[in-house]
Amino acid sequence: MLTDREVLSTLNMLRNEHLDVRTVTLGISLFDCAAHDFDVFAYKVRAKISRYAGRLVETCNDVADKYGIPVVNKRISVSPIGVVGASFSREEMVRACRVLDEAAKNAGVDFLGGFGALVEKGMTPGERNLIDSLPEALACTDRICSSINVASSRSGINMDAVALMGQRILDVAEATRDRDGIGCAKLVVFANIPQDVPFMAGAYLGVGEPDVVINVGVSGPGVVKKAIDRAMAAGRANGGITLGEVAEVIKRTAYKVTRVGEIIGKEVADRLGLPFGVADLSLAPTPAVGDSVGEIFQSVGLSSIGAPGSTAVLAMLNDAVKKGGAFASSHVGGLSGAFIPVSEDSSIEAATRSGALSLEKLEAMTSVCSVGLDMIAIPGDTPAATISGMIADEMAIGMINSKTTAVRVIPVPGKGVGESACFGGLLGEAAIIPVPGGDASSFIRLGGRIPAPIHSLKN
C-alpha cells in the first residue's frame, strides 16, 4: 500500500518541478557497416539504424505513458564516424553525415550523435577529413551532433587538433551564419570523453561498447531546487539548516530522479530486447523557468550564479548528485554531474547578460562540474587562436584533474558583445559575452602535443 506522502510527492515532482527523463539514447555500433564502397556503407547504415531504431520512439512513448513520466527526447548515438569511415574523403564524410541525418529523421529522433573523432594523440587521414567536413556537414544537416576528443589524462593534449578546432568552429559558425552560427551548438570539443554519453551534443558509442544498447539521461534541476527550497523553509522555521543538510537533500533527491530514469530505461531496453547500458545522472537544465541549474545557486543563498561561492556550491551539487544517483542505478556512466550550459538555462543566461557571471568564472566552475564551457555565445570576430586557447585551457583542466571537460562555444557571425543569439527550442538564446583579451596565436601555432601528466605525486 502506498503512503499519501509517496503519491503526493511524486505528483508534485511531475506537475510543479519538471520531473522527466531527459533522453533515452539508443547506441548503435556502426563498425560492421564499414566499407570501401560508400554506397555499401550507406546501405548498411540505413538498414541497421532502421532495424534497431524503428520502434524506439513508439516504445519510449508507451513506457512514458505507462509510468506517467515524460521521456522528453529520443536519440541515437553511433560509433565515431572518424573510425567507421576511416577511408572516406572529405566529400564522402559530408555524404555520410547526410545519410545519418536521413536515418535520424526516419527514426523520428531529434538528434543523432557520433559524427566525431577521437584524436587526442594523433589524427588519421579519415579523421582529418571528418573535421574538415564539419562546416558543410553540420550546415546541410539538422539532427547530427559531433564531438571531437582532443585530450585525455593518459595521452595529453593534441595541440594540433586544438589549433584546427579553433578554426573549424569559426568555419562552422560561418557556414550557419543565417541561423546565428547554430552549427556550433552541435559541435563539442572534449577532454576525456566518456564512451557512453547519452546527452547531446557529446553522445557517441565508444569502441568498447555493445553492438546495440540503451542509455538513459536523467535530469531534474527543478526537483532539486524545490527540495532545497522546502528544506530551507523548514530550516528557517526550526532554527537553521547547514550545508551538510542541504547536501543530504540533494543526494536524496538525486536518488529519486535517477530511479525514474533507471525504471524507464530498463523497461525500454527490455521491450526492445536490448541491453540496458547506463544511467547518466546529470542535472540538465532547459530554458524553462523552474528547470534551471542556475536557480539552485540562489536557493542556497547566493545573489546569482557567478557570485563568490559559486564554485563551492557547484562542487557540492555535483558531488551530491553523483552520490545519490550512484546508489539509485545499477550502472552509472556518461557525464553524471551538473551541467552549466549558458543558453539552455534561463538563470545562467540572465547572470551572463547582467555581467554577474563571466567567462573566467565559468571556466573556474568547470573544474568542479561535469562538463565545461557549454553553449556560450561569443563575438563572431573572435580570432581562431583565441578559441583554440580557450579550448587548450579547458582541456588542461580535464587532463590534469582526470575528468571530462568540453568546449561548446558559438562565435555568432556578424554580432558582438551585448547582442543576442537565438537558437530556439531546448538550445535557448544567449547574450554574447566578451572573451578574454590577449593574444594566443604564437602559442597555438607551436602545435605538437602537451604531454600526459604524471599520475603520482598528486597535489
Partner 1 sequence: MSKIAVSILGIDCPGVVYLVSGTLSALRCNIEEISQTILKGQFAAIFIAEKPDALTEDKVHSELVKAIDARDMSLSVIVRSLDEKAVYHGEPGEPFVITVDGEDGLNVVASFTRIFAENKVNIENMKALMPDVPEDQPESRRRALQVFEISLPLSIDRTALRRTLEDKARDMGLRVSMQHRDIFEAVHRVKSI
CA-derived radius of gyration, the chain? 21
69 touches partner 1 by CB under 8 A? yes
- Return the range that interacts with partner 1 (CB under 8 A); candidates 166-174, 256-264, 318-326, 347-355: 256-264
Q: What are phi and psi of 279, to 5 degrees?
A: -105, 130
Minimum CB distance to partner 1, residue 276 (Å) = 10
- Report the nearest approach of partner 1 to the CB of residue 256 (Å): 5
Asked if 8 touches partner 1 (CB under 8 A), the answer is yes
Using alpha carbons only, give the angle 203, 129, 48 rounded to the nearest 5 degrees: 50
Which secondary-structure segment (H or E) carries 16?
Answer: helix 4-16
Say whether residue 72 binds partner 1 (CB under 8 A).
no
Q: From the list 266, 331, 353, 449, which residue makes contact with partner 1 (rule: CB under 8 A)?
A: 266
* Least separation in angstroms between CB 52 and partner 1: 24
**Minimum gap (Å) between residue 97 Cβ and partner 1:** 37
- Judged by CB under 8 A, the stretch of 114-122, 238-246, 255-263, 301-309 that binds partner 1 is 255-263
Grid coordinates representing 292?
Answer: 534551471
* Nearest Cα to Cα of residue 433 among 409, 414, 407: 409
Residue of 46, 259, 331, 449 interacting with partner 1 (CB under 8 A): 259
Task: Residue 451: count other Cβ atoms within 10 Å of its Cβ.
Answer: 10
19 torsion bin: left (phi>0), alpha (psi -120 to 50), beta (else): beta
3-state helix, strand, coil in the chain (%, to 5): 50, 15, 35
Provide, rounded to whole angstroms, the least separation between the CB of residue 280 and partner 1.
17
Listed ranges 48-56, 254-262, 346-354, 370-378: which one lies at the site for partner 1 (CB under 8 A): 254-262
Angle at 341 between CA 22 and CA 227, to 5 degrees: 60
Q: Are 41 and 85 in contact (CB under 8 A)?
A: yes
> Rounded distance, CA 343 to CA 91, Å?
32
Which is nearer to partner 1, 5 or 455 (by Cβ)?
A: 5
Q: Which helix (H) or strand (E) holds 113?
A: strand 111-113
* CA angle, residues 250, 254, 270, in degrees to nearest 5: 175
Q: How far is the CB of 68 from partner 1 (least distance, A)?
A: 3
DSSP strand pairing (405-412 vs 21-28): unpaired
CA pseudo-torsion sign 272, 277, 280, 284: negative
Contact flag: residue 6 with partner 1 (CB under 8 A): yes
Identify which range of 185-193, 253-261, 318-326, 451-459 contacts partner 1 by CB under 8 A.
253-261
Does 289 engage in binding with partner 1 (CB under 8 A)?
no
Min CB(31)–partner 1 separation in Å: 31
Stretch that binds partner 1, among 99-107, 201-209, 252-260, 419-427 (CB under 8 A): 252-260
Facing residues of 449 across strands? 158
Site string for partner 1, 12-41 (x = CB under 8 A): -xxx--------------------------
* Residues found near partner 1 in the complex (CB under 8 A): 1-2, 4-11, 13-15, 65-69, 256, 259-260, 262-263, 266
